[in-house]
Structure 1
Amino acid sequence: MKKITVILLCMAMLLSGCAWSVKAETVSSSEDVWKTIEEAYIYAFPLVLMDATRTSATNTEEAAPGKAPVNQFMHGVALANAQFKNVVTPNVDTIYTQVWYDLSEEPMIYVHPETDRFCKAQVLDAWTNTVAVLDRAGVYAITRSTWKGDLPDNVTRIDVPTAMAWAITRTVLSGEADLPNVYAIQAQMQLLPLSVYLSGEAYQPPKGSYREENSYVPINKVLSLDPVTFFNKANTLMEDNPPSAADAEILEKLAAVHVGPVMEFDASVLTGDIQANWREMLQGLRPKLAAEGMKFSKQLGQWSYFGAPIGDFGTEYAYRALVAIAGLGANTVEIALYPKTEKDADGNPLTGEKSYILHLESDPQVLDGGFWSITAYGDDDFLIDNLLDRYCINDRSGLKRNDDGSVDVILSKDAPADTTNWLPVGDGGFHLFMRIYTPDMEALKTWTVPTITQFVGSAGDAFSAICFLQKSRFTSSKPSISAIASCKKCIHHRTNSFVRYCPNTISRFTCAICLRLFPSGVRSFHLA
């Protein structure tokens, strides 16, 4: 879990339009007060961040790429590239269509298109919990759970417990040439109020509004808020976006510092040097949240990912806050896994000053309609600039496979002679994210996870990279220093199993290559 740059908080309760009757606990010391304030911040942070993100994303008069008024489509039109800096670790497999819903007045009708590719609409409530994933063509009513009314038989009701909701539709594509097909899918999507749908009238979305003060980076905006502004914002948001019944216990505790729906936060509950204590609290939350996240970290070989209950957090408030910082709008593990690695097979940090072989014994295991990819990011969590504008390899990349169906990918800053299986990684530190959409969780238990092995030699020599990989995969006994001592013996090796895995090496397999691949006295390898 890398660079988690921030911290979190707050809550109290309201359900079905009725305020919870909360018996406030008392806090007996200054230390207890600030401990409770910290719990409140962690609790409420995702809610406040969602609202800040909604405010920024809907700060426009008309829909445009990256912006749209509430209850209108925000269609993505291009894949991210190295110049894209809007969000960290951008996805280059899918085009996004987003909607920020306001369900306070009436349900919104969403028509999901018929398509033969991965196209799923994830619906989240105001607390960042996934309430539904829509992947079948049909007509859906996105409805606040307290709404009472009848729907036509052909409309499927999707209940959301909060007035604010966020939908993220991900449509997979095979590179930029496939964009027109994605646009055609987007054109089939429809969004309109229930009343208009029932009337059959043509719908013209209303004009939004723009305010300069709402043009900001959401995470920075939230972190800049003082205690009174933050907690009163949280309290107000909780009135239309009530906490769940499972939160009753923490709400009772937070009521002691005036945090909860229909409450007004009063700075008089704070003790000591408020500004210094607030700053110290925020700075101290980072390691606490990172440690909390480790409880939910799952290993896939040298890779790790956030596991359940990601995307549907229940009462795991610190985990919910951590994930909000790391990536707002996370899917549940049934929909997607995001394994990450920053190190090679020997545990050394990945760097573009070295070259590596990424070996996939077999593709990640996905269910029908799923897909996978592996994307490289720099230490700043953005895509790495390169001449090919290639940022990932995936199941649509047309990779060259070995005879046994496995795949070897070169990770290097310099291009090999054949770039088909090359993933550029720049010249600085980097890390990899694997994306596995609709994973086969049972099959993944026995899946051989991709390995990353450093090799010595020219990154432009794809043959050298493959030879090194075969050395690392097929060595079953101690290398013989004399086995490859001359060109004569190297050529002799063309008849053994080595050549079966390197069919293009008969004329190129020389001692010069061997010596470059195996320095420090290790000049050969044994093939059983």
Structure 2
Amino acid sequence: MHRSTWGGAQTGWVAALAYRRGHPDHCNKDTEEMNPLSFIAQEAFIYGYPIVDGYNVLYNYTLDKASGEYKAPFNQVGHNRNVATPDDRAVVSMNVDTPYSFVWLDLRAEPQVLTVPSFEADRYVSVQLIDLYTYIVGYISPRTNGHGGGDFLVAGPDWRGEPPTGVKAVFHSPTQFVLALYRTQLLSPEDIDRVHELQNQYQVCGLSAYEGAPPPPALPFAEVRPIDVRRDSESLEFFTILNAMLAYMPVLNDEIALRRSFSEIGLVPGAPFAAPDEAAREALVEGMRQGLQAMYGRAQTVRSSAEIFGSREQLGNDYLSRAVGTLLGIYGNAAEEYLGVGYQTDADGRPFDGNRRYTIKFAADGLPPVGAFWSITAYNADKFLLRNPIDRYVINSVMLPSLRRDADGGFTLYLQHESPGAEREANWLPVSADAFNLAFRTYQPGPAIMDGTWQAPPVVCVA
């Protein structure tokens, strides 16, 4: 067992400072003024925020059978049999267009093979593969694979084998656990039985079983107590969880210096974590505060989900943007599969307030140019769905035939807490009575969305 060490913190600070040359600057204080422990803690907090929040999801979905969010054990698919509801609170900003299926893949003993059935040409089905860093490893979707389904192998960092005959594609993960996140589009309320039929055909098996060989022995998982990092952002249990998870994340070549600097505050993969004294604890908490402040600052400048979600090749070592992606809504899609095109504020740059009334006007020829579908979803201040009298949390392209059209052939959406009246209720998206959030999603965005030629119509405050 490794022992945590706090000796030579200044050396770790220098190493981390050297590492940051050429990387985005996200310090809030001059590094010359910061306590060395605080500086490293700030870096580690930003780096580890997605990992720690992701462990909370893993724990609730896979380990804690008493959790209201429990899905299935490792390497078994669990399903949400309907779209997300206000009762779903493990992941923020969930969409309500596609019932989700989930499997946390344990790749330590062997690769896992995912089987996806064929599906209709007008339906969107995807499997997003996400590693413990929250980088996107790859997709199985109409964009990458068409609608024909097939068998797909997901391998961990230590696998060097050859895929068997019949496997259509291989995905290599840098971490030993991967979340496979399935989205199955619901085309109408009456379509739910077909969604369930597709979900029931999502299969996972080990490579040995796929090849008809005996399975390797199962390996134990080092379970620790999770935290809700959004509500408990100054808990030093953060570093306990990070140590546990780093044991399943072999160090990447370009992070050797950074990970070495983290060891100076006791971040050693698989080791217990403990601050040696009150002064060290205060320094660490101050660094966490500075890290969170930097994340909030970066969040204010995000213009598109493409800046904060993607593969390691796309995001590189921009850990601040990666952390902000988790802060705003963990496990978002890459731009080529999905692009969020709004909204952070209203047309006047003001935060959304449910005490006011808003409209979004779409021209007849102004719909988002997408290959799959689009949707606008309302969330409360914490980015969860809010109960409302008509059980409507989204307006999307599937609903176009039911929307009330304007005289010019376009349509206007009404965003407010109270009903806009019977004549306008078909176009009403209920929001919280106080602060709220919106997400405008485009799936398989077309070139006009990708290059910014098409812009989302503004959210206009009318009262």
Of 449, 457, 462, the residue aligned with 2:456 is 449
After superposition, the Cα gap between the structure-2 partners of 1:262 and 1:379, relative to the gap in structure 1 and judged at 3 Å, is closer
Does the alignment pair 1:188 with 2:187?
A: no
- Secondary structure of the residue that 2:152 maps to in structure 1? strand
Distance in 2 between residues matched to 1:340 and 1:138, nearest whole Å:
34
1:139, distance to aligned residue in structure 2 (A): 0.3
Q: What TM-score, normalized by structure 1, do the two folds share?
A: 0.70
> Residue 120 of structure 1 aligns with which residue?
126
- Secondary structure of the residue that 2:211 maps to in structure 1? helix
Identity of aligned residues (%): 27
After superposition, the Cα gap between the structure-2 partners of 1:345 and 1:59, relative to the gap in structure 1 and judged at 3 Å, is same
Q: What TM-score, normalized by structure 2, do the two folds share?
A: 0.79
Deviates more, 1:97-106 or 1:54-63: 54-63
After superposition, the Cα gap between the structure-2 partners of 1:354 and 1:60, relative to the gap in structure 1 and judged at 3 Å, is closer
Distance in 2 between residues matched to 1:62 and 1:193, nearest whole Å:
27
- Secondary structure of the residue that 1:133 maps to in structure 2? strand
> Residue 284 of structure 1 aligns with which residue?
290
Of 228, 239, 246, the residue aligned with 1:238 is 246
Q: Deviations over 1:428-470 (max 9, x none)?
A: 33332111111124345222421233446xxxxxxxxxxxxxx
After superposition, the Cα gap between the structure-2 partners of 1:183 and 1:285, relative to the gap in structure 1 and judged at 3 Å, is same
- Secondary structure of the residue that 1:180 maps to in structure 2? helix
Gaps of at least 5 residues in structure 2 are 1-9, 15-31
1:273, distance to aligned residue in structure 2 (A): 1.8
Does the alignment pair 1:152 with 2:164?
A: yes
After superposition, the Cα gap between the structure-2 partners of 1:244 and 1:38, relative to the gap in structure 1 and judged at 3 Å, is same
1:256, distance to aligned residue in structure 2 (A): 4.0
> Residue 80 of structure 2 aligns with which residue?
76
1:107, distance to aligned residue in structure 2 (A): 1.0
Q: Deviations over 1:389-431 (max 9, x none)?
A: 1111110112233465422122231242222222223543333
Deviates more, 1:139-148 or 1:412-421: 412-421
Cα contact 1:62–1:68 (8 A) shared by 2: no
Of 333, 336, 339, the residue aligned with 1:334 is 336
- Secondary structure of the residue that 1:451 maps to in structure 2? coil
1:147, distance to aligned residue in structure 2 (A): 1.1
> Residue 163 of structure 1 aligns with which residue?
176
After superposition, the Cα gap between the structure-2 partners of 1:309 and 1:233, relative to the gap in structure 1 and judged at 3 Å, is closer
> Residue 309 of structure 2 aligns with which residue?
310
Distance in 2 between residues matched to 1:347 and 1:309, nearest whole Å:
21
Cα contact 1:338–1:435 (8 A) shared by 2: yes
Distance in 2 between residues matched to 1:348 and 1:131, nearest whole Å:
36
After superposition, the Cα gap between the structure-2 partners of 1:83 and 1:241, relative to the gap in structure 1 and judged at 3 Å, is closer
Distance in 2 between residues matched to 1:382 and 1:63, nearest whole Å:
18
> Residue 324 of structure 1 aligns with which residue?
326
After superposition, the Cα gap between the structure-2 partners of 1:174 and 1:267, relative to the gap in structure 1 and judged at 3 Å, is same
Q: Deviations over 1:293-322 (max 9, x none)?
A: 455x22xxxxxx333352233211122222
After superposition, the Cα gap between the structure-2 partners of 1:265 and 1:356, relative to the gap in structure 1 and judged at 3 Å, is closer
Does the alignment pair 1:104 with 2:108?
A: yes
Distance in 2 between residues matched to 1:84 and 1:63, nearest whole Å:
11
Cα contact 2:157–2:175 (8 A) shared by 1: yes
- Secondary structure of the residue that 1:94 maps to in structure 2? coil
Does the alignment pair 1:259 with 2:271?
A: no
* Structure with bigger RCO (C-alpha 8 Å, 6+ apart): 2
After superposition, the Cα gap between the structure-2 partners of 1:420 and 1:388, relative to the gap in structure 1 and judged at 3 Å, is same
1:131, distance to aligned residue in structure 2 (A): 0.7
Letter in 1 for 2:197: A
Distance in 2 between residues matched to 1:349 and 1:87, nearest whole Å:
22
Q: Which has the larger radius of gyration?
A: 1
> Residue 414 of structure 1 aligns with which residue?
419
Distance in 1 between residues matched to 2:352 and 2:240, nearest whole Å:
44
Q: Across the two proteins, how many residue pairs are aligned to each other?
A: 414
CA RMSD of aligned residues (A): 3.4
- Secondary structure of the residue that 2:405 maps to in structure 1? coil
- Secondary structure of the residue that 2:171 maps to in structure 1? strand
Does the alignment pair 1:143 with 2:150?
A: no
